[in-house]
Chain A
Amino acid sequence: MQGTLDLLVLRTLSTGGTMHGYAITERVEQISRDVLRIEAGSLYPALHRMEEAGWVRSEWDVSDNNRRARFYTITGAGRRRLAEEEDHWTRLTGAVERVLRLA
């Protein structure tokens, strides 16, 4: 789900600060204990799309191991978007849970 990918990326950036794409995938896999895996082929288009939408901004900088990398930071608009997405997600999972429990 595209919405889910956006949610994961925005959430990661909102707590992790400025990160490059690889770090984002690492972080998501690590926290989800390898349950959630982000395909790079989807991640980068999503990051570029979100930058076009104004939710993140990016700049080229030098990484820990002295390589040139593109770093992403969440913007104010991105945080607002994240709030919306989280809200949406909570309602969705809540609904699914209720169905699983009661139906």
Chain B
Amino acid sequence: MRVLRRLLNVWRGRTLARDFDDEIAFHIEQRIDANLRRGLPREDAIVEAQRHFGSVIRAREGMREARVAEWIPAFGRDLRVALRMARRQPGLAALTMITLSLGVGATASVFALIDGMLIRPLPYHDADRLVTVGDTFRTGPPRTGPTIPELLDVRAAATVFDGLSWVDWRDFQIGGGTEPARVMGARAEVALLQVLGVTPTLGRLFTEADATPGQPPVAILTDGLWRTNFAADAAIVGKRIVLNGLPTEVVGVLPAGFQFDFFAADPVDLYVPYPMIAAYTSRTAEFANVRRVIAVGRLKRGVAQEQADAEVVAVARRIEADHADLYRIGADRRDVGFAMHAEPLQRTLFAGSERTATLLSTAAALLLLIACVNMGQFLLAHALERRTEIAVRSALGASRVRLVRQLAAESLVLAAIAAAGGLLQAEGFIYLLRMYSMSQDPFVASRIELNGSVALFTIGTAAVVASLCNLVALVRWARPAPLHALATRELAPPTRARYVLLAGQVAVAVTFLAITGLLVHSITRLNAGDRGYTTDDVISLRLRAVARLQGPAVGEMYRRYLERLRAIPDIEAVAIANAQLPLFPSTNFAVDGGRADAATLSAQRAAYTIISPDYFKTLGIPVRSGRTFTDDDRAGRPPVAIVNEEMAHTFWPGQQVIGRQVRAGEGPRSALMTVVGVVGNVRPAMQLEPIPQVYVSLLQQPEPIVTMLIRSRQGRPVPLESIKQAVWSVTPDQPLFDVRLLSEWLTTFTAEPRRSLAVLLGSGALLAVFISGAGMFTLVTYVTVRRRREIALRRAIGAGVRDVVRLVSAPTIRWTCVGLLVGLVAATSGSGILRANFAGVAPTEPALLAIVSVLYLAIGCAAVWAPALSALRDDPAEILRSE
């Protein structure tokens, strides 16, 4: 009640003030009357009464303080003071606020990324107990999925898990729609869904019996598929759907929002039990050593990650000892350094994004830092300007508490503006980040959002930054002593410290700009020149062989598709391959006459592409010598291969290549083949140097999941319908999906990620330039304002425009150059780190650095020019008279 009245009194200020004045006046009049009664002359009576009363101001202030919730008007006053400052130099104030908001916003958006990746728990029950188990080798890829026999051994021996399971993903063909449709299915080992802690909304999860060979097939639908394909049929459990041509019983439906498709090529639509057939579970069977499952375990309550890892490592050591022959390769039977590790699921999921996150958070931190320096510069100028005011106020008895309170209020205003601006900025940056992550990892993208904790972080950062900046100003106020400040109205010129800060700011911005430049430049380098193939008029679509066909029958079916498609007049060439382009190395290989020791073998990696005969014609890859495949290169005929020029030059320089032997292919595909042709190099993704490429015949290496590449005659696109009809005339239930232009596919998978990273960093660099430009502007403006009198004096005694400009800008330009040099050195050494992580980045690019330098000096000059001009606009005589 009382508090409320005090609050309401804020708006009754005038009435209250009249009351106070009346009360004071009455008191003084009473005293005058008494004095007159004592016989004092009137003048003396008045003077005595006033002296006797003491400070009217203090009384009025005291009464006001008692009656009014003082902090609101105080806050208002401080706001007004701040606004008055802002009005005096509106551009400067706005600039400073904007730069601080930008810094805060950038930091907040990177926090949103880190929050999504590392802080916010994954959307599973007790997600911190989920781990992945993976194989590592001394050489070769960093971490792969274990084999099924390894996982069975770990499951039998380890005591730390509540459950250990695994999953891989397959295309499935689902019947019942308007045309054969393809869905993405997870083959989940029966325990997987329990391990993840999900409860079905309908029906049940898998049981051991579901995975036993020979049992009737079953499936669990995701909420999405259940709604889109089965109209959310509440009685779906127990019904049969047609999956890969087989009637399959639906046993359950998963809740909305549940997903576990981080490592899958596409979002998962349904789950089927992982078949526990000998081909997978026995160490000697065909697919036993294929490492393509993701293994997920749930730790027992209270088990630490390290403990789990230690146990998995120990089990792996026993596995290696028991099956030593499996972990030796090459002619010298070298040990591959096999080990198994358990690590938190969250770490595995975001391992690929860590590098980017580090890069971006460093960038954001630097932005915030230079924005802070800027703010500090501004507030310092502000504080110096106000030193007189502060000195007057404390001389008049404003308490220290009062001053600090004013400062706190100002920090609050500052923080509020920075936080509000920062949140707006963050919104924009988060959009950019999401676009970037979408191409990298949709799951990360889905987790980047402006949620409560990000907002809290933003506000917190803004508050801390504002208080820190103001603290600098406070220290500044504290010295020299107030009275001294009053006595010497002339204020000191900016100290060297401020110029050092400026130089630091410039250095950071230049580093930023140069590094971004190098990254952008690397994209140009990667895209420039001949790629070795053409994507013009080529569309790609994917298909998966219907399930009833196995082995050579698959290749034969694809051969018949191609035959029908070639008959379509507008199709110039058509091919089927296991991948669109040989962009990534995917197999180890050995060549006859080459070295066969383990070290050499594990270092020899080639792209391995399974193709139909017209692949090279379709993509315009030149055949340099020998021949392409024919329909006669089929199962039962001698195995053949085609290699690229890079491989031919490396292993058989200047020699006959045709007829040489090469061994390539992973697992059961490994075969000794005779080279029948040499073709041009295809430029690999994200790399400048060519890689060895090996092509094998589709008819010799059957592959059910393939991409079809169709090149139409120039300017005459082939209707999709005629392609479908041609395929369906061979296999009526063949699903075709993921139809797109090859060029578009290429952009999405290779160029896009780096381009968005460049856009992100580029906007950061622009901000950095803007912020440091603003910093220069602030400093020079400040110098100019401070030295108005000196400038006027110099002009009065004949200094010209050039002298004045030199006077105010010389130190700034000098220190900018220092910053520039430091920045260039930092960028040159920093590019090494960039080069280690991103292919195609040049060590240094003198032209680029030169451009950055010139650009920077231009910005510096512009930032200096405006305030210097304003100093010239003033009439010197007037200034000299007025101060």
Contacts and interface: CB of A to CB of B under 8 A. Distances in A.
A45 interface: yes
Given A48-B62, A48-B67, A49-B66, A22 B30 contact: yes
B2 A42 contact: no
Interface stretch (A60-68, A74-82, A85-93): A60-68
Interface string B618-643: 00000000000000000000000000
B874 to A, nearest CB: 45
Nearest to A69: B26
B62 A41 contact: yes
Contacts of A26: 34
15 contacts: A21-B23, A21-B26, A39-B54, A42-B59, A45-B58, A45-B59, A45-B62, A45-B66, A48-B63, A51-B66, A52-B6, A54-B2, A67-B29, A68-B22, A70-B23
B26 A44 contact: no
B66 A22 contact: no
A95 interface: no
A70 to B, nearest CB: 5
What 5 A-B pairs are tightest by C-beta distance, nearest first?
Answer: A45-B62, A48-B66, A41-B54, A49-B66, A22-B30
Interface in B1-60: 2, 6, 19-20, 22-24, 26-27, 29-31, 33-34, 52-56, 58-59
B18 to A, nearest CB: 11
A49 B67 CA distance: 7
A44 B31 contact: no
Contacts of A67: 26, 29
B65 interface: yes
Contact of A20 (B26, B58, B66): B26
A41 B24 CA distance: 9
Contacts of A83: none
Interface of B: 2, 6, 19-20, 22-24, 26-27, 29-31, 33-34, 52-56, 58-59, 61-63, 65-67
Given A40-B53, A42-B59, A44-B24, 16 more contacts: A20-B27, A21-B27, A26-B34, A40-B24, A41-B53, A41-B59, A41-B62, A44-B23, A44-B27, A44-B62, A44-B63, A45-B58, A51-B66, A52-B67, A65-B33, A70-B22
B531 to A, nearest CB: 82
A70 B26 CA distance: 9
A44 B53 CA distance: 11
A69 B66 CA distance: 19
A68 to B, nearest CB: 7
Contacts of B29: 67
B26 A40 contact: no
A39 B6 CA distance: 25
A22 B22 contact: no
Contact of B27 (A22, A51, A65, A68): A22
A40 B22 contact: no
A44 B30 CA distance: 15
Contacts of A39: 54
A43 B62 CA distance: 9
B3 to A, nearest CB: 10
A52 B66 contact: yes
Nearest to B26: A69
Interface of A: 20-22, 26, 39-46, 48-49, 51-52, 54, 63, 65, 67-70
Contacts of B22: 68, 70
Contacts of A44: 20, 23-24, 27, 59, 62-63
Contact of B63 (A22, A45, A54, A65): A45
Contacts of A68: 22, 26
Contacts of A21: 23, 26-27
Contact of B58 (A22, A41, A46): A41
Nearest to B34: A26
Contacts of A22: 26-27, 30-31
A41 B57 CA distance: 8
Nearest to B29: A67
Contacts of B54: 39-41
A65 B34 CA distance: 12
A43 B56 CA distance: 11
Contact of A41 (B19, B20, B34, B55): B55
A42 B23 CA distance: 13
A45 B23 CA distance: 11
Contacts of A46: 62
Contacts of A65: 33
A77 to B, nearest CB: 12
Contacts of A41: 53-56, 58-59, 62
A11 to B, nearest CB: 20
A72 to B, nearest CB: 10
Contacts of B59: 40-45
Contacts of B2: 52, 54
Contacts of B62: 41-42, 44-46, 48
Contacts of B65: 45
Contacts of A48: 62-63, 66-67
A44 B62 CA distance: 8
B34 to A, nearest CB: 8
B155 to A, nearest CB: 74
A68 B613 CA distance: 112
A69 B58 CA distance: 20
Nearest to A23: B30
A65 to B, nearest CB: 7
A20 B56 CA distance: 17
A48 B65 CA distance: 9
Contacts of A52: 2, 6, 66-67
A12 to B, nearest CB: 15
Nearest to B2: A52
Nearest to B23: A70
Q: Which of B23, B31, B58, B59 has the most A CB atoms < 10 Å from its CB?
A: B23
A65 B30 CA distance: 9
Nearest to B63: A48
A54 to B, nearest CB: 8
Contacts of B20: 44
A51 B23 CA distance: 15
Contacts of A20: 26-27
Nearest to A52: B66
B260 to A, nearest CB: 64
A71 B55 CA distance: 22
A43 B55 CA distance: 12
Nearest to A42: B62
A57 to B, nearest CB: 13
A53 to B, nearest CB: 8
